[in-house]
């Protein structure tokens, strides 16, 4: 545990100030820019609607925060790999600590617009939608974004290792080869998702969120009715398994081929 805490503390000390400045700028932008936009352009909409749009854009962009943070931390270490690899920690701890810290960055990146949105909703008493509706559907959106960001981070780490494996042979062209492999793999995966096999084996155990929530949402006193919103238990399990396996394979390859 001390070793794990030490690895996390190292990442925090290195990235503390850039992260704090970024968080402060994000709060300022999402809190005050919507009011400036509404006043300067004389928009005939409630300022909360502008806040909502900006916060959702920020949250959507946060899907890339973990993978970018992980790339930055890995590339920093690869400048002096002899120092990094001199540690007695296993490759799973070395990379896992960075992945965990990157995940925390992604989580905080999603928490900031959520808190700003909640405060703005309370301060300006928007009638655009009830707080319960915003909380329910906003929570689903945030959880989905975070889950996708973790999947992106795992896939990104895998292809980063692939690039490192090819770099000694292809030099600067390794990134081009990695992109081509990524595009081919993405195409094959999309074909698998559309296949009958995927439908039979993965799309099982449907959960309809509308059965636990009134599908009619009050938006400016107009009721919008949502269609069926299904999540599949099988797909969730498959995504978790796929993400875990991709990370393990990448870590093992990194240990055997790159670290040596």
Tokens of 219: 């938006």
CA proximity to 110, closest of 79, 154, 140, 78: 140
Give the pLDDT band of residue 171 (cuts 50, 70, 90).
Answer: confident
Tokens of 117: 């949105």
In tens, the pLDDT along 1-21 reads 678 888 888 888 888 898 899
CB atoms within 10 A of CB 97: 21
Instruction: Give me the residues paired with residue 42 across strands.
Output: none
3-state SS assignment for residue 59: helix
Residue 221's pLDDT is: 41
Strand boundaries in the chain, DSSP class E: 206-208, 216-219, 222-225, 230-232
Question: What is the torsional sign of CA 84, 85, 87, 91?
Answer: positive
Instruction: Give me the residues paired with residue 39 across strands.
Output: none
Element (H, E) at 30: helix 2-40
DSSP state of 45: S
Give the pLDDT band of residue 168 (cuts 50, 70, 90).
Answer: confident
In tens, the pLDDT along 83-115 reads 777 777 788 888 999 999 999 999 998 888 888
Instruction: Output the pTM of the full model.
Output: 0.85
């Amino acid at each position: 545990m001390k070793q794990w805490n030490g690895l996390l503390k190292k990442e925090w000390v290195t990235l503390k100030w850039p992260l704090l400045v970024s968080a402060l700028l994000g709060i300022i932008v999402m809190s005050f820019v919507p009011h400036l936009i509404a006043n300067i352009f004389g928009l005939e909409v409630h300022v909360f609607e502008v806040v909502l749009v900006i916060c959702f854009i920020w949250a959507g962009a946060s899907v890339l925060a973990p993978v970018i943070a992980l790339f930055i931390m890995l590339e920093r270490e690869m400048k002096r790999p002899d120092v990094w690899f001199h540690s007695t920690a296993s490759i799973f701890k070395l990379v896992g600590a960075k992945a965990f810290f990157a995940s925390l960055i992604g989580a905080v990146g999603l928490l900031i617009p959520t808190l700003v949105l909640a405060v703005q909703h309370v301060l300006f008493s928007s009638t655009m939608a009830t707080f319960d509706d915003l909380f329910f559907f906003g929570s689903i959106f945030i959880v989905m974004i975070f889950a996708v960001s973790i999947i992106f981070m795992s896939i990104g780490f895998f292809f980063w290792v692939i690039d490192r494996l090819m770099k000694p042979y292809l030099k600067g062209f390794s990134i081009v080869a990695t992109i081509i492999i990524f595009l081919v793999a993405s195409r094959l995966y999309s074909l698998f998702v559309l296949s009958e096999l995927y439908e039979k084996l993965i799309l099982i155990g449907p959960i309809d969120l509308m059965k636990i929530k009134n599908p009619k949402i009050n938006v400016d006193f107009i009721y919008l009715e949502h269609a069926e919103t299904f999540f599949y238990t099988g797909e969730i399990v498959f995504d978790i398994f796929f993400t875990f396996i991709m990370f393990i394979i990448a870590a093992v390859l990194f240990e055997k081929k790159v670290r040596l």
